[in-house]
Amino acid sequence: MFPFKEGLTYARNQWYVAGWSDEFAMNQIRERWILGEPVAMYRTASGVPVAVDGRCPHRNYPMAKGLLRGDNIQCGYHGIEFDPRGVCVRIPSQSMIPAVCHLRSYPLIEQWQLVWIWPGDPALADPALIPSHEELRLQKQGWLATRGFTFELKTRYQLLNENLMDISHLSFLHAGTIGTEAVAATEVILIEGERFLRGTRKMKNDQVTGFFAQVLNYEGKIDRETLIDYYAPGMHVAWEFFMKPGTLDTLVTDDAEANENVLGMYRVHHMVTPATLDTTNYFIGYSRTFARDQDSVTKTMTTVFESVIQQDIAAAEAIENLLNKRGSAPNELLIKADAHSIRGRRRLESLMERERSMTSTAPN
């Protein structure tokens, strides 16, 4: 599927964000599509999040239209009941329960306010594969993390992934809020990490936008470093350092929290989970080091980030729409700024190709 190589769709043996903690409720079942399947999400009385197949195996009725009976989920059509592991515990019209009557149950990990899901082979679901939330600055001393948004987009997910990896679009799509001309004009340096693929831009003595001046409570020129880290398959962390001019050359990243010439740092966490082949779940949170006790700053940042995200969504959906109306897959014209996106795409494609080869050589 464009822009992937023919036949590639999803990397399944991976952790994705299934939702925010508060989207897993004790008294309500939520349906969310993940990698082409409906998933029914809820939480047990003791607080454990649950994700099971959102399709009753009996008659394909959406499980999310059913009821919770204690910790169990009951189909709303013929009353078949399953426990949180997906084991069928009751068929009202018969006493015998066939072994094949069960719901697939998804491995979940809850960290900070996020619930991660593993849509692939449960035997391979290693929690250590989830990016460390301390490394991400979602759970780290000196950082305040804020739950952001959930959106469902009418676009194939890779358009969103590649939007996020080339932030030269900040200067145009997001001019005036988070982008200045300098972003696109500055060369990107790519760093191939083991866990993530980083693109970094260093800008000296640049303008500060009105938005950043307000939340940093700072007027004047700045040095600015902008990084975007892609953790395959679907997390992107945009990281910015704002510094007094002259600081950039001597900045030691690990000491930035303690550096008094650093005006502030923030990270936006973009989490992309394929819904179906042409729809996408998109979760956004952010964390910051500055003005952590000021709710008004949180409010301003949330408002501005939402408007920026809506621009990204509109762009991805406009492209999806154009591609569909036009019909055939287009030729791709790549420029230097696409290097990050293309390397990210290759990473994801090789995850998919590895899965395909494992599946095709597996003994039956």
Residues 5 and 113: their CA atoms lie apart, in Å, by 35
| Under 8 Å between Cβ of 91 and 65 | no
Residues 147 and 222: their CA atoms lie apart, in Å, by 28
| Under 8 Å between Cβ of 209 and 234 | no
Between residue 63 and residue 102, which ones bind its own copies under the rule CB under 8 A? 65, 74-80, 91-94, 98, 100-101
**What is the full DSSP assignment across 61-105?**
-BGGGSEEETTEEE-TTT--EE-TTSBEEEBTTBS---TT-B--B
The label of the residue with tokens 């600081």 reads 247
Return all residues near 252 (Cβ < 8 A) that are at least 6 apart.
Answer: 259
9-38 footprint of its own copies as x/- string (CB under 8 A): ------------------------x--xxx
Number of residues that bind its own copies (CB under 8 A): 54
**Residue closer to its own copies, measured from CB, 260 or 332:** 332
Query: Judged by CB under 8 A, does residue 323 bind its own copies?
Result: yes
Q: What tokens were used for 243?
A: 């510094």
Q: Which stretch binds its own copies (CB under 8 A): 15-23, 41-49, 126-134, 329-337?
A: 329-337
**Residue closer to its own copies, measured from CB, 39 or 265:** 39
Length of the chain: 364
Q: How many distinct helices (H) and strands (E) make up the chain?
A: 5, 17
Interface residue with its own copies among 173, 213, 251, 342 (CB under 8 A) is 173
Q: Is 304 helix (H, G, I), strand (E, B) or coil?
A: helix
Q: Which stretch binds its own copies (CB under 8 A): 115-123, 147-155, 165-173, 259-267?
A: 165-173
Which residues on adjacent β-strands are paired with residue 282? Answer: 151, 272
271-310 footprint of its own copies as x/- string (CB under 8 A): -----x----------------------------------
Interface residue with its own copies among 13, 158, 161, 168 (CB under 8 A) is 168
Q: Which stretch binds its own copies (CB under 8 A): 114-122, 137-145, 241-249, 335-343?
A: 335-343
Interface residue with its own copies among 260, 333, 361, 363 (CB under 8 A) is 333
Q: Which stretch binds its own copies (CB under 8 A): 235-243, 257-265, 293-301, 316-324?
A: 316-324
Among candidate residues 106, 14, 89, 13, the one with its CA nearest the CA of residue 51: 106
Interface residue with its own copies among 150, 171, 177, 300 (CB under 8 A) is 171
Query: Judged by CB under 8 A, does residue 317 bind its own copies?
Result: no
CB of 170 to its own copies, least distance (A): 10
The label of the residue with tokens 């399709």 reads 55
Interface residue with its own copies among 26, 190, 318, 358 (CB under 8 A) is 318
Q: What tokens were used for 285?
A: 């949170």
Query: Judged by CB under 8 A, does residue 331 bind its own copies?
Result: yes
Return all residues near 255 (Cβ < 8 A) that are at least 6 apart.
Answer: none
Which residues on adjacent β-strands are paired with residue 280? Answer: 153, 274
Interface residue with its own copies among 4, 61, 149, 218 (CB under 8 A) is 61
What's the sign of the alpha-carbon dihedral 56, 59, 62, 65?
Answer: negative
For residue 3, what is the enclosing H or E element?
none
CB of 260 to its own copies, least distance (A): 33
CB of 253 to its own copies, least distance (A): 24
Give residues in contact with its own copies (CB under 8 A): 33, 36-38, 55, 57-62, 65, 74-80, 91-94, 98, 100-101, 162, 166, 168-169, 171-173, 181, 184-185, 188, 276, 315, 318-319, 322-323, 325-327, 330-331, 333-338
